[in-house]
Amino acid sequence: MAIDNNDLEHCLIAPSHAAAVRCDQTSWLRSIVEMVQLMMSLGMVVGLDKLLEKAFAAASIKFPSALFGMFCVFAVLLLLDAFAPALARGFIAFFDPATLFIHRWLPLFFVPSLVILPLSVRDVSPASAIKIFSITFGGWFASLAVAGYTALTVRRTVKTQLLPPEPMNKPSPFAALELWAWGALFLASFALAYVSPTALGTTATTCLPFLLASTVFGYMLGSRLPSAARKVLHPIICCALSADLAAVAYGYLSRSGLDAVLGDYLTKAPSNPGAGDILMGFLGSVIISFAFSMFKQRKLVRRHAAEIFTSIAIASTFSLYSTAILGRVIGLEPTLTISILPRCITVALALSIVSFFEGVNSSITAAVVVLTGLIGANFAQAVMDKLGLKDPIARGIGTASSAHGLGTAAVSAKEPEALPFCAMAYALTGIFASLICSISVVRQSLVYIAGSPAYDK
């Protein structure tokens, strides 16, 4: 049933009881239509992700299926735009509710690895931890500056004038009612888990409701903090802290300990998922949804292809070699240096890259990737402002090339115009780094610089 615009006009000019009833019916009908559209579009994105994931697993392909899906959707939209523009616009309009919903909750899907960070760094000595943090923070800053300034330099060289980006819709802010509802859900589920720890079966399913609620509640609470407070306590940090504090409280009260509760947060067991597994199960859908944002900025992507691809290639190479050099200079153990080489790359591809080398610690790899993302999420926008990186291309590439998904999630909330370039850099940085690390000469040079050529496969 179509909604007639005349009905909406009548609502405004006829204050009678009949008109009010008709307005209510129209509003109710519109809400139903929007909800159905959201469920259908979101379901199709999630379905595509799961289909590709199963196909890649069956074919034993290690490349992340979601990145492949993102580029496929982007390519299909470009083809439709070339041969059937009206159909392309229809697709974008249909999937708009899904992309807005995903962008509203974007940081949540990148947080689980950050929540379990305390488990990943237990075996690292304090001296090595300080060195790793120094490399991570200094390397992040250098990678951001290199990527951003390379984009600006290439633009000046090819003399491409920056055009205004297409306006992007911003997700609606969280209402106080939503915050109270999730807070109440957290308290109720925490009390149930404490009073009856076996009510839901396994320990992971017992902890799942309150850990999931605490994660969501922390994110919403962080998003509603004053802007001055968010500069110090980013919603992503608030989100992770909320989940960790809930885990500490339950571990203490139940006497099961923090390690056991965090182990139940991210089990990586499909038959016994935790709260983190539920959230990360949507990560592929998030990545695929980036294709729609990229398509909306396709004119800028096409116009500025030179600076986009050049800066990504240079930033990726710089990140790998600068990490190896810094590790050698400050005396970090070669195994740890090799383990943190892909610090600026999303976890899935970072783990694939370190698998090329012998003797690495993949837990350290994952922890450093998360730490890099956390740094970028908290400081990227302020640092880019200080460096004079003003336009969305330089900001998007600089953020994602230095801080992958977490940085992308943080920037997109305030700067949706930068999201398409974040998405491209997020994907292409990992792909380019994977390609050059698959070359034996590059691997040998990296391990030689790190201090021990014995770790190359």
Q: What separation in angstroms does the CA of 261 have from each of 186, 283, 414?
A: 16, 22, 33
Cβ atoms of residues 119 and 262 within 8 Å? yes
> For the whole model, what pTM was predicted?
0.78
244-249: list long-range contacts, CB under 8 Å, 24+ apart. Answer: 244/115, 244/118, 245/214, 246/186, 246/190, 246/210, 246/211, 246/214, 247/115, 247/207, 247/211, 249/190
Instruction: Single out the residue of 280, 390, 327 nearest to residue 135, CA to CA.
Output: 327
Non-local CB neighbours of 301 within 8 Å, separated by 6+ positions: 294, 308, 420, 421, 424
Backbone angles phi, psi at 367, to 5 degrees: -65, -45
Chain segment 32-85, per-residue pLDDT in tens = 888 889 999 999 999 999 999 999 989 988 777 888 888 899 999 999 999 999
How far is Cα 139 from Cα 266, in angstroms, rounded to an integer?
28
| Count of Cβ atoms closer than 10 Å to residue 428 Cβ | 21
Chain segment 191-213, per-residue pLDDT in tens = 999 888 776 666 778 889 999 99
In a 3-state reduction of DSSP, which class is residue 444? Answer: helix
Cβ atoms of residues 401 and 312 within 8 Å? yes
Q: Answer yes or no: is pLDDT of 8 > 80.
A: no
Here the tokens at position 442 are 């590059």
Chain segment 244-270, per-residue pLDDT in tens = 999 999 999 988 888 889 988 988 888
Section 83-105 average pLDDT: 91
